[in-house]
Amino acid sequence: LMFGLTSITRIKMGEEDIKNQSPEIKEPSPKIRKLQQDYENGVQPSPKIRKLQQDYENGVQPSPKIRKLQQDYENGVQPSPFLKVKKLSDKAVLPSRGSPLSAGYDLSSAVETKVPARGKALIATDLSIAIPEGTYARIAPRSGLTWKHSIDVGAGVIDADYRGPVGVILFNHSDVDFEVKLGDRVAQFIIEKIMTPDVFEVDDLDSTVRGIGGFGSTGV
């Protein structure tokens, strides 16, 4: 994307010489060829491309983030999708991960409430989340709450086409009430890839070593 139209023209003018002089140099990427074809056909680039072109021609250095995207693109690295999150109130807290390698994004309470002993409660997060297609979000307990306070999570699935508020169902398996304060991290969600094959009715299923063996059939 950092190549402006001027650079594309230079690529075209020197393309044959480059091929003859250095056969080891690869052909321009499909994206660069597409920009070149659009330019030759009189197709105007998008405002974003024009802005990048003007910055490039004026000697404006791109931001570190743009440079990183450019390097990733040139190295064939696919960009990761963004996780779009909408706050429904100023009490909402954006999901965050505890460390760079954490699998889960923490969900925080947007209310102050209580989970009764041996009972349950629905905790509002005041967030709406657009889960990427081809995945779903599994809401899971936080290990600290489970171990220290016997707090578990139920009904934890966020589908990719759901756009409503995200709530967390907490179960209290202890004999004392559990207080939830505003901003407390009450659960986490993990984005997992899924398959959704079409359902096809058959008369019989393929045989396996296990067969119809059910609970306990493989031992304790």
CATH of the domain at 107: 2.70.40.10
**Which range marks the domain in which residue 131 is found?**
84-193
List, for residues 30-61, the tens digit of each pLDDT value: 667 777 777 778 777 777 777 777 887 888 88
Q: Report yes or no on 213 lying in a domain.
A: no
Q: Report yes or no on 11 lying in a domain.
A: no
Q: Are residues 67 and 91 in the same domain?
A: no
List, for residues 146-187, the tens digit of each pLDDT value: 999 999 999 899 999 999 999 999 999 999 999 999 999 999
| Calpha distance 198→35 (Å, rounded) | 39
Burial category of 201 from C-beta neighbours within 10 Å (exposed 0-12, middle 13-18, buried 19 and up): exposed
Q: Report yes or no on 202 lying in a domain.
A: no
Q: Are residues 120 and 45 in the same domain?
A: no
What is the model's pTM?
Answer: 0.64
CA R_g for the chain: 27
Q: Report yes or no on 138 lying in a domain.
A: yes
Number of independent structural domains in the chain: 2
Q: Are residues 136 and 42 in the same domain?
A: no
